Amino acid sequence: MLVLIMIIAVVSGKGGTGKTSIAVNLAISVRSVQLLDCDVEGPNAHILLKPRITRQELVYRLVPSINEERSDYCGECAAFCQYHAILVAPKKVLIFPELCRGCGGCILTCPRGAIVEGRGARLEPSRRATAAI
Ligand code: SF4
């Protein structure tokens, strides 16, 4: 028996373009389908589909943590962070978790290894769920 598997990705770099609407309508137009909402910032296909949630798990996002003893306050991390989530003062580094997107770039950028991965905000359980449609 020949099984045909087709993978369709609906992607865009900009919000509000209708990706979710297209993906959801494609999904409901075929009989056997798996829809994976991979939007790390705001998965919302469930709003349109209203699925029966069968399993949930708690997930956390990365928020960097500063080791002030290792930092020389060079500011490389703040210069890298396009979300302005890091402020480097002469003798203090501040991280604003509500602005951080958890990309981890500041950890890779720090020349002294003074930034480590910390556990950040917990995402809502319903945002990472397995559902039956
Ligand atoms: S993890 Fe990314 S978004 Fe968060 S502070 Fe570091 S560079 Fe900015």
Assess whether the C-beta atom of 85 lies below 6 angstroms from ligand 1.
Answer: yes
Q: Which residues of 109-127 are buried (b: 16+ CB within 10 A; e: fewer)?
A: ebeeebbeeeebeeeeeeb
Instruction: Show Cβ contacts of residue 45 under 8 Å, excluding neighbours closer than 6 positions.
Output: 20, 23, 24, 35, 37
| CB atoms closer than 10 angstroms to residue 129 | 16
pLDDT per residue as tens digits for the range 22-61: 999 999 999 889 999 888 777 889 899 988 888 877 777 8
Inside any domain, residue 85: yes
- State pTM to two decimals: 0.62
Inside any domain, residue 55: no
With the most atoms of ligand 1 within 8 angstroms of its CB, the residue from 86, 93, 117 to mutate is 86
Q: How far is the CA of 73 from the centre of ligand 1 (A)?
A: 16
Residue 69 and residue 39 share a domain: no
Q: Tell me which residue range forms the domain holding 29.
A: 1-50
Q: Which two tokens stand for residue 122?
A: 């917990």
* Domains: count for the chain: 2
